[in-house]
Amino acid sequence: MTVLFLNSSSDLYGSSKILIEVIKVYKNAGLIPVVILSEPGPLENHLSDLGIVVRIQNLGILRRKYVNPSGVLNRIGKNIKAYRFLDQLHREFNFDLVYSNTLAVVVGAQWAKWNRLPHIWHIHEMLLGSSPLIRLLRRMLDNTTPAPIVVSEAVKSLWEERLKKSVPKVIHNGIPYEKFLNTPKISFKELGIAENSLVITMIGRINPGKGQLFFLEMAKRIAASYPQCHFVLVGDPFPGYESIEFEINNYIIENRLENCVTNLGFREDVESILKVSDIFVLPSILPDSFPTVILEAMAAGCPIVATSSGGASEMVLDGETGYLIPINDLDKGVNALIKLILDRELREKFGNAGKNRVLEEFSLDSFGKNIENHLWQHLGKN
Protein backbone atom coordinates (compact mmCIF):
# COMPACT_ATOMS: atom_id res chain seq x y z
CA MET A 1 0.00 0.00 0.00
CA THR A 2 1.14 3.51 -0.83
CA VAL A 3 0.20 6.43 1.41
CA LEU A 4 0.11 10.07 0.37
CA PHE A 5 1.13 12.37 3.24
CA LEU A 6 0.35 16.09 3.04
CA ASN A 7 1.94 18.54 5.48
CA SER A 8 1.32 22.23 6.03
CA SER A 9 4.97 23.27 6.32
CA SER A 10 8.55 22.13 5.98
CA ASP A 11 9.69 23.18 9.44
CA LEU A 12 10.84 21.00 12.32
CA TYR A 13 8.44 22.15 15.02
CA GLY A 14 5.82 20.09 16.89
CA SER A 15 3.38 18.85 14.24
CA SER A 16 6.16 18.21 11.72
CA LYS A 17 8.16 16.20 14.27
CA ILE A 18 5.06 14.11 14.97
CA LEU A 19 4.58 13.57 11.23
CA ILE A 20 8.08 12.09 11.05
CA GLU A 21 7.17 9.56 13.73
CA VAL A 22 3.88 8.68 12.02
CA ILE A 23 5.70 8.08 8.74
CA LYS A 24 8.17 5.79 10.51
CA VAL A 25 5.28 3.79 12.00
CA TYR A 26 3.61 3.40 8.62
CA LYS A 27 6.87 2.45 6.96
CA ASN A 28 7.60 -0.19 9.61
CA ALA A 29 4.09 -1.55 9.03
CA GLY A 30 5.00 -2.21 5.40
CA LEU A 31 3.40 0.84 3.80
CA ILE A 32 5.15 3.08 1.27
CA PRO A 33 5.04 6.79 2.20
CA VAL A 34 5.10 9.62 -0.34
CA VAL A 35 5.19 13.11 1.17
CA ILE A 36 4.15 16.43 -0.33
CA LEU A 37 5.33 19.63 1.33
CA SER A 38 4.24 23.14 0.39
CA GLU A 39 7.77 24.50 0.41
CA PRO A 40 11.42 23.45 0.77
CA GLY A 41 12.89 23.40 4.27
CA PRO A 42 14.55 21.32 6.99
CA LEU A 43 11.72 18.75 7.08
CA GLU A 44 12.30 17.98 3.41
CA ASN A 45 15.98 17.28 4.09
CA HIS A 46 15.20 15.14 7.14
CA LEU A 47 12.69 12.97 5.29
CA SER A 48 14.98 12.59 2.29
CA ASP A 49 17.74 11.38 4.61
CA LEU A 50 15.30 8.69 5.81
CA GLY A 51 14.82 7.54 2.22
CA ILE A 52 11.29 8.96 1.92
CA VAL A 53 10.02 10.23 -1.44
CA VAL A 54 9.34 13.97 -1.05
CA ARG A 55 7.77 16.33 -3.57
CA ILE A 56 7.31 20.09 -3.27
CA GLN A 57 4.01 21.64 -4.35
CA ASN A 58 2.09 24.64 -3.05
CA LEU A 59 -0.91 23.06 -1.30
CA GLY A 60 -2.90 26.24 -0.72
CA ILE A 61 -2.30 26.11 3.03
CA LEU A 62 -4.83 28.00 5.16
CA ARG A 63 -3.40 30.89 7.18
CA ARG A 64 -5.06 33.81 8.96
CA LYS A 65 -3.51 36.24 6.51
CA TYR A 66 -5.69 34.79 3.73
CA VAL A 67 -8.97 35.53 5.53
CA ASN A 68 -9.97 38.33 3.15
CA PRO A 69 -11.50 38.43 -0.37
CA SER A 70 -8.20 38.49 -2.27
CA GLY A 71 -6.73 35.86 0.05
CA VAL A 72 -9.67 33.51 -0.51
CA LEU A 73 -9.28 33.84 -4.28
CA ASN A 74 -5.57 33.14 -3.90
CA ARG A 75 -6.22 29.96 -1.88
CA ILE A 76 -8.84 28.73 -4.37
CA GLY A 77 -6.35 29.12 -7.20
CA LYS A 78 -3.57 27.35 -5.29
CA ASN A 79 -5.90 24.49 -4.33
CA ILE A 80 -7.00 23.98 -7.94
CA LYS A 81 -3.35 23.69 -8.99
CA ALA A 82 -2.71 21.32 -6.08
CA TYR A 83 -5.63 19.08 -7.16
CA ARG A 84 -4.11 18.77 -10.62
CA PHE A 85 -0.73 17.96 -9.13
CA LEU A 86 -2.27 15.23 -6.95
CA ASP A 87 -3.97 13.75 -10.00
CA GLN A 88 -0.61 13.53 -11.78
CA LEU A 89 1.07 12.01 -8.74
CA HIS A 90 -1.75 9.49 -8.31
CA ARG A 91 -1.14 8.22 -11.83
CA GLU A 92 2.51 7.69 -10.88
CA PHE A 93 2.07 6.09 -7.43
CA ASN A 94 -1.53 4.78 -7.31
CA PHE A 95 -2.25 5.81 -3.71
CA ASP A 96 -4.29 3.68 -1.32
CA LEU A 97 -4.66 6.20 1.53
CA VAL A 98 -4.36 9.96 2.07
CA TYR A 99 -3.05 11.41 5.36
CA SER A 100 -3.42 15.16 6.01
CA ASN A 101 -1.34 16.55 8.88
CA THR A 102 -3.05 19.61 10.48
CA LEU A 103 -6.26 21.34 9.45
CA ALA A 104 -4.26 23.90 7.49
CA VAL A 105 -4.08 21.26 4.72
CA VAL A 106 -7.54 21.03 3.15
CA VAL A 107 -6.75 19.86 -0.38
CA GLY A 108 -6.18 16.21 0.56
CA ALA A 109 -9.56 15.53 2.16
CA GLN A 110 -11.75 16.46 -0.79
CA TRP A 111 -9.29 15.01 -3.32
CA ALA A 112 -9.40 11.69 -1.45
CA LYS A 113 -13.23 11.82 -1.46
CA TRP A 114 -13.36 12.42 -5.20
CA ASN A 115 -10.98 9.54 -5.80
CA ARG A 116 -12.80 7.22 -3.35
CA LEU A 117 -9.74 6.85 -1.15
CA PRO A 118 -9.78 6.60 2.67
CA HIS A 119 -8.60 9.75 4.39
CA ILE A 120 -7.03 10.35 7.81
CA TRP A 121 -6.89 13.85 9.24
CA HIS A 122 -4.46 14.51 12.13
CA ILE A 123 -5.79 17.55 13.98
CA HIS A 124 -3.23 19.54 15.97
CA GLU A 125 -5.18 22.80 16.28
CA MET A 126 -7.66 24.35 18.69
CA LEU A 127 -9.82 26.59 16.52
CA LEU A 128 -12.28 28.58 18.62
CA GLY A 129 -15.53 30.24 17.60
CA SER A 130 -17.92 29.47 14.76
CA SER A 131 -16.46 31.23 11.75
CA PRO A 132 -17.29 30.24 8.14
CA LEU A 133 -13.88 28.52 7.99
CA ILE A 134 -14.68 26.33 11.01
CA ARG A 135 -18.07 25.44 9.54
CA LEU A 136 -16.35 24.49 6.28
CA LEU A 137 -13.82 22.30 8.11
CA ARG A 138 -16.62 20.65 10.08
CA ARG A 139 -18.44 19.69 6.87
CA MET A 140 -15.23 18.43 5.28
CA LEU A 141 -14.40 16.29 8.32
CA ASP A 142 -17.89 14.80 8.43
CA ASN A 143 -17.83 14.05 4.71
CA THR A 144 -14.29 12.71 4.33
CA THR A 145 -12.86 11.43 7.62
CA PRO A 146 -14.80 9.01 9.85
CA ALA A 147 -12.16 8.89 12.62
CA PRO A 148 -9.84 11.93 12.68
CA ILE A 149 -6.90 11.82 15.09
CA VAL A 150 -6.84 14.60 17.70
CA VAL A 151 -3.82 15.30 19.86
CA SER A 152 -5.56 15.94 23.18
CA GLU A 153 -8.80 15.63 25.11
CA ALA A 154 -9.11 19.41 24.83
CA VAL A 155 -9.14 19.22 21.03
CA LYS A 156 -11.53 16.26 21.11
CA SER A 157 -13.99 18.14 23.30
CA LEU A 158 -13.90 21.13 20.97
CA TRP A 159 -14.60 19.13 17.81
CA GLU A 160 -17.06 16.64 19.29
CA GLU A 161 -19.49 19.50 19.81
CA ARG A 162 -19.33 20.38 16.11
CA LEU A 163 -19.13 17.07 14.28
CA LYS A 164 -22.22 15.09 13.32
CA LYS A 165 -20.68 11.95 11.80
CA SER A 166 -16.93 11.91 12.44
CA VAL A 167 -15.74 10.46 15.75
CA PRO A 168 -12.39 11.92 16.91
CA LYS A 169 -9.79 9.59 18.39
CA VAL A 170 -7.33 10.98 20.96
CA ILE A 171 -3.73 9.90 20.42
CA HIS A 172 -1.34 11.86 22.60
CA ASN A 173 1.97 12.70 20.99
CA GLY A 174 5.01 10.66 21.96
CA ILE A 175 8.66 11.63 21.82
CA PRO A 176 11.98 9.76 21.52
CA TYR A 177 12.90 9.82 25.22
CA GLU A 178 16.36 8.28 24.73
CA LYS A 179 17.34 11.19 22.51
CA PHE A 180 17.27 13.47 25.54
CA LEU A 181 19.37 11.10 27.62
CA ASN A 182 22.14 10.82 25.05
CA THR A 183 22.29 14.37 23.68
CA PRO A 184 25.30 16.36 24.97
CA LYS A 185 24.78 19.77 26.53
CA ILE A 186 25.56 22.85 24.51
CA SER A 187 28.17 25.14 26.09
CA PHE A 188 27.18 28.41 27.71
CA LYS A 189 29.91 30.07 25.70
CA GLU A 190 28.31 28.96 22.43
CA LEU A 191 25.01 30.45 23.58
CA GLY A 192 26.69 33.66 24.71
CA ILE A 193 25.57 33.14 28.31
CA ALA A 194 27.66 33.71 31.43
CA GLU A 195 28.79 30.58 33.25
CA ASN A 196 26.71 29.63 36.30
CA SER A 197 23.63 31.38 34.90
CA LEU A 198 20.22 29.99 35.78
CA VAL A 199 18.74 29.41 32.34
CA ILE A 200 15.01 29.92 31.74
CA THR A 201 14.00 28.82 28.25
CA MET A 202 11.02 29.17 25.94
CA ILE A 203 10.84 27.30 22.64
CA GLY A 204 8.06 27.76 20.11
CA ARG A 205 7.25 29.03 16.67
CA ILE A 206 6.39 32.71 16.76
CA ASN A 207 2.67 33.35 16.29
CA PRO A 208 -0.02 35.46 18.01
CA GLY A 209 -0.98 32.77 20.52
CA LYS A 210 2.37 31.38 21.65
CA GLY A 211 3.20 34.09 24.18
CA GLN A 212 6.76 35.22 23.43
CA LEU A 213 6.02 38.81 24.49
CA PHE A 214 4.43 37.55 27.71
CA PHE A 215 7.64 35.58 28.35
CA LEU A 216 9.62 38.80 27.95
CA GLU A 217 7.31 40.59 30.40
CA MET A 218 8.12 37.85 32.91
CA ALA A 219 11.83 38.31 32.18
CA LYS A 220 11.58 42.06 32.74
CA ARG A 221 9.89 41.58 36.12
CA ILE A 222 12.41 39.00 37.30
CA ALA A 223 15.70 40.28 35.86
CA ALA A 224 16.22 43.18 38.28
CA SER A 225 15.81 41.06 41.42
CA TYR A 226 17.44 37.86 40.18
CA PRO A 227 20.47 38.84 38.06
CA GLN A 228 21.68 35.22 37.90
CA CYS A 229 18.77 34.39 35.57
CA HIS A 230 19.21 34.34 31.81
CA PHE A 231 16.21 33.99 29.50
CA VAL A 232 16.51 32.14 26.19
CA LEU A 233 14.03 32.33 23.31
CA VAL A 234 14.10 29.77 20.51
CA GLY A 235 11.88 29.89 17.43
CA ASP A 236 11.21 31.77 14.20
CA PRO A 237 7.92 33.18 12.89
CA PHE A 238 5.24 31.55 10.80
CA PRO A 239 5.13 33.22 7.37
CA GLY A 240 3.05 36.36 7.78
CA TYR A 241 3.96 36.87 11.44
CA GLU A 242 7.36 38.49 10.96
CA SER A 243 5.98 41.63 12.61
CA ILE A 244 5.78 39.77 15.94
CA GLU A 245 9.47 38.90 15.69
CA PHE A 246 10.13 42.60 15.13
CA GLU A 247 8.09 43.40 18.28
CA ILE A 248 10.09 40.84 20.26
CA ASN A 249 13.44 42.30 19.26
CA ASN A 250 12.18 45.84 19.88
CA TYR A 251 10.91 44.90 23.33
CA ILE A 252 14.30 43.48 24.29
CA ILE A 253 16.07 46.68 23.20
CA GLU A 254 13.53 49.17 24.57
CA ASN A 255 13.52 47.48 27.98
CA ARG A 256 17.31 47.05 28.05
CA LEU A 257 17.13 43.29 28.37
CA GLU A 258 20.01 42.51 26.01
CA ASN A 259 22.23 41.30 28.86
CA CYS A 260 19.67 38.87 30.27
CA VAL A 261 17.72 37.72 27.19
CA THR A 262 19.09 35.80 24.21
CA ASN A 263 16.90 35.35 21.14
CA LEU A 264 18.35 32.42 19.19
CA GLY A 265 15.74 32.18 16.42
CA PHE A 266 15.25 28.78 14.80
CA ARG A 267 17.53 25.99 16.05
CA GLU A 268 17.66 22.30 15.23
CA ASP A 269 19.61 21.48 18.41
CA VAL A 270 16.76 22.11 20.87
CA GLU A 271 17.65 18.96 22.83
CA SER A 272 21.10 20.38 23.63
CA ILE A 273 19.58 23.72 24.64
CA LEU A 274 17.02 22.05 26.90
CA LYS A 275 19.79 20.03 28.56
CA VAL A 276 21.36 23.28 29.88
CA SER A 277 18.00 24.83 30.82
CA ASP A 278 16.99 25.00 34.48
CA ILE A 279 13.34 25.92 33.88
CA PHE A 280 11.12 25.71 30.80
CA VAL A 281 8.29 28.17 30.20
CA LEU A 282 5.45 28.02 27.67
CA PRO A 283 3.06 30.89 28.46
CA SER A 284 0.61 30.47 25.54
CA ILE A 285 -1.92 33.31 25.53
CA LEU A 286 -4.39 31.33 23.41
CA PRO A 287 -5.42 27.69 23.97
CA ASP A 288 -2.63 25.42 22.69
CA SER A 289 -3.77 21.98 21.53
CA PHE A 290 -0.85 19.80 22.69
CA PRO A 291 2.52 21.57 22.63
CA THR A 292 4.95 18.68 22.23
CA VAL A 293 7.85 20.90 23.26
CA ILE A 294 6.60 20.58 26.86
CA LEU A 295 7.18 16.82 26.66
CA GLU A 296 10.65 17.47 25.25
CA ALA A 297 11.46 19.83 28.11
CA MET A 298 10.18 17.31 30.66
CA ALA A 299 12.27 14.56 29.06
CA ALA A 300 15.30 16.83 29.44
CA GLY A 301 14.56 17.17 33.16
CA CYS A 302 13.18 20.71 33.18
CA PRO A 303 10.45 21.79 35.59
CA ILE A 304 7.65 23.46 33.64
CA VAL A 305 5.72 26.70 33.94
CA ALA A 306 2.86 26.68 31.42
CA THR A 307 -0.59 28.13 30.96
CA SER A 308 -3.41 25.82 32.03
CA SER A 309 -5.20 25.69 28.71
CA GLY A 310 -5.50 23.12 25.98
CA GLY A 311 -3.16 20.14 26.09
CA ALA A 312 -0.64 21.54 28.59
CA SER A 313 -2.92 20.55 31.47
CA GLU A 314 -2.86 16.95 30.17
CA MET A 315 0.94 16.87 30.35
CA VAL A 316 1.94 18.97 33.34
CA LEU A 317 0.88 17.83 36.81
CA ASP A 318 0.47 21.07 38.75
CA GLY A 319 2.69 21.03 41.82
CA GLU A 320 4.38 17.77 40.76
CA THR A 321 6.14 18.34 37.43
CA GLY A 322 5.74 22.11 37.30
CA TYR A 323 3.18 24.86 37.69
CA LEU A 324 0.10 25.63 35.61
CA ILE A 325 -0.87 29.29 35.49
CA PRO A 326 -3.96 31.07 34.12
CA ILE A 327 -3.68 32.61 30.66
CA ASN A 328 -2.28 36.16 30.74
CA ASP A 329 -1.80 36.18 34.52
CA LEU A 330 1.60 37.82 34.80
CA ASP A 331 1.67 37.90 38.60
CA LYS A 332 1.04 34.16 38.95
CA GLY A 333 3.52 33.40 36.19
CA VAL A 334 6.24 35.44 37.87
CA ASN A 335 5.48 33.94 41.29
CA ALA A 336 5.69 30.40 39.88
CA LEU A 337 9.07 31.19 38.35
CA ILE A 338 10.38 32.74 41.55
CA LYS A 339 9.48 29.61 43.54
CA LEU A 340 11.59 27.54 41.16
CA ILE A 341 14.42 30.07 40.95
CA LEU A 342 14.83 30.06 44.73
CA ASP A 343 14.58 26.30 45.29
CA ARG A 344 17.07 24.07 43.50
CA GLU A 345 15.78 20.93 45.22
CA LEU A 346 12.25 21.71 44.01
CA ARG A 347 13.54 22.15 40.45
CA GLU A 348 15.25 18.76 40.62
CA LYS A 349 12.18 17.11 42.17
CA PHE A 350 9.84 18.46 39.47
CA GLY A 351 12.39 17.67 36.74
CA ASN A 352 12.79 14.03 37.78
CA ALA A 353 9.02 13.60 38.10
CA GLY A 354 8.61 15.05 34.61
CA LYS A 355 11.12 12.63 33.11
CA ASN A 356 9.31 9.69 34.69
CA ARG A 357 5.94 10.96 33.46
CA VAL A 358 7.14 11.24 29.87
CA LEU A 359 8.60 7.74 29.97
CA GLU A 360 5.45 6.22 31.46
CA GLU A 361 2.70 8.18 29.69
CA PHE A 362 4.09 9.68 26.48
CA SER A 363 6.56 7.15 25.11
CA LEU A 364 7.20 6.81 21.41
CA ASP A 365 6.43 3.10 21.68
CA SER A 366 2.93 3.76 23.01
CA PHE A 367 2.36 6.45 20.39
CA GLY A 368 3.45 4.10 17.60
CA LYS A 369 1.12 1.31 18.74
CA ASN A 370 -1.82 3.70 18.92
CA ILE A 371 -1.09 5.14 15.48
CA GLU A 372 -0.79 1.69 13.89
CA ASN A 373 -3.97 0.42 15.58
CA HIS A 374 -5.83 3.49 14.34
CA LEU A 375 -4.51 2.90 10.82
CA TRP A 376 -5.83 -0.65 10.53
CA GLN A 377 -9.11 0.17 12.27
CA HIS A 378 -9.61 3.12 9.93
CA LEU A 379 -8.89 1.07 6.82
CA GLY A 380 -11.31 -1.57 8.06
CA LYS A 381 -14.07 1.03 8.05
CA ASN A 382 -13.48 2.10 4.44
318 backbone dihedrals φ, ψ, rounded to 5°: -60, 125
* pLDDT given for residue 72 in this prediction: 61
Q: What is the pLDDT of residues 238-249, one digit of tens each?
A: 878 899 999 999
- Residue 160 sits in the same domain as residue 35: yes
Whether 253 and 373 share a structural domain = no
Q: Let me know whether 96 and 218 are in one domain.
A: no
Residues 6+ apart with CB under 8 A from 13: 204, 205, 235, 293
Residue 19 shares a structural domain with residue 89 = yes
Write the CB contacts of 331 (distance below 8 Å, at least 6 apart in sequence). none
Residues 170 and 184 in one domain: no
How many Cα atoms within 13 Å fall on the side-chain side of residue 200?
A: 30
Answer yes or no: do 153 and 54 share one domain: yes
DSSP 183: P
pLDDT given for residue 103 in this prediction: 93
Number of domains into which the chain is organized: 2
* 239 in the same domain as 140: no
3-state secondary structure of 281: strand
367 and 251 within one domain: no
List b or e across 1-40, with b for residues whose CB sees 16 or more CB atoms inside 10 angstroms: eebbbbbbbbbbbbbbbbbbbbbbbbeeeebebbbbbbbe
Q: Which helix (H) or strand (E) holds 97?
A: strand 97-101
Summarised one tens digit per residue, pLDDT across range 177-192 is 888 888 888 999 888 8
- Are residues 163 and 192 located together in one domain of the fold? no
Domain containing 139 equals: 2-174+363-380
Q: What is the reported pTM?
A: 0.90
Are residues 166 and 188 both part of a single domain?
Answer: no
Residues 137 and 257 in one domain: no
Which residue positions in the chain have pLDDT lower than 50? 382
Q: Are residues 154 and 281 in the same domain?
A: no
Look at residue 163 in the predicted model and tell me its pLDDT.
95
- Give me the pLDDT at residue 318, please: 98
Q: Residue 82 sits in a domain of what CATH number?
A: 3.40.50.2000
Please name the helix (run of DSSP H) or strand (run of DSSP E) that holds residue 54, with its range, or none. strand 53-56
